[in-house]
């Protein structure tokens, strides 16, 4: 038993014995709860975990947290790094377009209070994550779509930018020759950026930002901006976020599922594995798409898991950012 946990038990028992049996029962329940997820901070905060190998974004978030910034500021600014990076062709500026050649962005953000904001199918604005935050903080709504999101961004002081870079345009034009829609599993190192952070106060926030699946149908929206699917935070328990085939994450409400599994006592790793199992079981097509989940609990323990190999995560802890290759379900090819 950890020293802190022992001291807590000792003092609770003392009070309970002094005041009666009802309290003993209540305190026993509290002890049980604190022994699972709520007690004994195992790791030093801050901690950041992001989908994929995104050291710049993850480090940015970690450094802000070291300076005392809140987890919501850290995830916003961390995600902004990838949104602005034209080399990342699945997020923000330089993202791959839909089949009509339009880059459309989905993003959401969630804070320690459970507040949530999102934009879907937004065009011409680089920092979808910031507009999602503005929806959360400055409007009575939780989600704005398309033109409305774009107009709200402009009214909030953001400038319009053509998000289709030359490189993404050429790739789209090549794709159009065959126009065969076949998502390819992890041929590249980047997809949606999902980021979870715990700040020095132990408060958790998360963000998720993407241009969605390349060459999707016009109007298609994935899991990333949808609360409970692409992202979910419960500051008492932990958080989870997703990358990969959004339709499958949506159908299983993956991020909410992971947080609920952690609430029931599963570790972040066990919860991610179970959420992947829920997708592949009864889905004979799972060999043709990828999904990856990451999770963090209130103690700062992290987990990550995917259907196929080559999913990776970036973790910032103890002032260092490292990339880790994920374990995966489909070991037999
Ligand atoms: N989850 C994203 C979507 O379905 C895409 C991805 O992560 O690759 O839009």
**H-state helical runs in the chain:** 3-19, 21-33, 55-66, 71-84, 128-138, 146-155, 166-178, 246-252, 254-263, 268-280
Give the global pTM: 0.86
Is residue 192 annotated as part of the catalytic site, yes or no? Answer: yes
Cβ atoms 294, 241 nearer than 8 A = yes
**Spatial CA neighbour of 296 closest among 273, 319, 323, 262:** 262
**In-domain check, residue 314:** yes
Cα dihedral 165/125/215/308 (nearest 10): 100
pLDDT, residue 186, reads 58
**In-domain check, residue 268:** yes
Nearest CA, atom 6, ligand 1: 244
**Distance from the alpha carbon of residue 188 to the mean position of ligand 1, in angstroms:** 13
Which residue from 88, 104, 119, 212 has its CB within 8 A of the most atoms of ligand 1, so it is best to mutate?
Answer: 212
**In-domain check, residue 201:** yes
**Cα diameter, the chain:** 80
Nearest CA, atom 9, ligand 1: 212
pLDDT, residue 108, reads 98
**In-domain check, residue 76:** yes
**In-domain check, residue 82:** yes
Q: Which residues have C-beta atoms less than 6 Å from ligand 1? A: 90, 191-192, 210, 212-213, 222-224, 243-244, 246
Cis peptide before 46 (omega within 30 of 0): yes
Which residue from 92, 244, 313 has its CB within 8 A of the most atoms of ligand 1, so it is best to mutate?
Answer: 244
pLDDT digits (tens, 9 = 90+) for 248-274: 999 999 999 999 999 999 999 999 999
pLDDT, residue 20, reads 32
Q: Which atom of ligand 1 is nearest to the CA of 90?
A: 8
CATH of the domain at 296: 3.60.20.30
Tell me which of 192, 209, 210, 241 is the catalytic residue: 192
**In-domain check, residue 6:** no
**Distance from the alpha carbon of residue 201 to the mean position of ligand 1, in angstroms:** 31
What gap in Å lies between CA 265 and CA 44, rounded to an integer?
21
**In-domain check, residue 122:** yes
Q: Which domain holds residue 307?
A: 53-331
**Distance from the alpha carbon of residue 249 to the mean position of ligand 1, in angstroms:** 9
Per-residue pLDDT of the chain (333 residues; tens, 9 = 90+): 333 333 333 333 333 323 333 333 333 333 333 333 444 455 899 999 999 999 999 999 999 999 999 999 999 999 999 999 887 778 888 788 999 999 999 999 999 999 999 999 999 999 999 999 999 999 999 999 999 999 999 999 999 999 888 888 998 999 888 877 666 665 454 579 999 999 999 999 999 999 998 889 999 999 999 999 999 999 999 999 999 999 999 999 999 999 999 999 999 999 999 999 999 998 989 998 999 999 999 999 999 999 999 999 999 999 999 999 999 999 987
**Distance from the alpha carbon of residue 245 to the mean position of ligand 1, in angstroms:** 5
* Total number of domains constituting the chain: 1
pLDDT, residue 140, reads 98
Q: Which atom of ligand 1 is nearest to the CA of 224?
A: 1
**In-domain check, residue 325:** yes
Q: Which atom of ligand 1 is nearest to the CA of 220?
A: 9
């Amino acid at each position: 038993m950890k020293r802190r946990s022992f001291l807590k038990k000792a003092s609770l028992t003392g009070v309970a014995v002094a005041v009666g049996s009802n309290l003993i029962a209540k305190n026993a329940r509290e002890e049980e709860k604190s022994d699972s997820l709520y007690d004994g901070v195992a790791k030093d905060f801050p901690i950041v975990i992001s989908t994929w190998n995104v050291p710049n974004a993850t480090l940015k978030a970690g450094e802000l947290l070291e300076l005392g910034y809140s987890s919501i500021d850290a995830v916003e600014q961390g995600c902004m790094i990838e949104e602005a990076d034209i080399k990342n062709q699945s997020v923000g500026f330089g993202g791959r377009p839909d089949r009509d050649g339009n880059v459309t962005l989905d993003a959401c953000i969630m804070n320690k209070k459970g507040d949530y904001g999102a934009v879907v199918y937004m065009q011409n604005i680089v920092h979808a994550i910031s507009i999602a935050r503005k929806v959360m903080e400055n409007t009575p709504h939780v989600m704005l779509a398309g033109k409305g999101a774009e107009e709200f961004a402009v009214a909030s002081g953001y400038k319009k930018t053509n998000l289709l870079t030359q490189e993404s345009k050429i790739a789209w034009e090549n794709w159009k020759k065959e126009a065969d829609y076949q998502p390819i599993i992890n041929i590249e190192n980047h997809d949606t950026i999902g980021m979870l952070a715990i700040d020095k106060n132990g408060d958790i926030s998360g963000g998720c930002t993407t241009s969605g699946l390349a060459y999707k149908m016009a109007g298609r929206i994935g899991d990333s901006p949808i609360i409970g699917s692409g992202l979910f935070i419960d500051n008492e328990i932990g958080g989870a976020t997703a990358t990969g085939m959004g339709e499958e994450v949506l159908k299983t409400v993956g991020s909410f599922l992971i947080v609920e599994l952690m609430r029931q006592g599963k570790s972040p790793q066990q919860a991610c594995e179970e959420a992947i199992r829920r997708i592949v079981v009864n889905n004979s097509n799972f060999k043709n798409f990828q999904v990856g989940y990451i999770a963090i609990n209130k103690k700062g323990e992290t987990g990550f898991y995917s259907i196929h190999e080559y999913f990776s995560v970036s973790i910032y802890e103890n002032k260092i950012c490292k990339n880790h290759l994920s374990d995966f379900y489909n070991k037999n090819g």
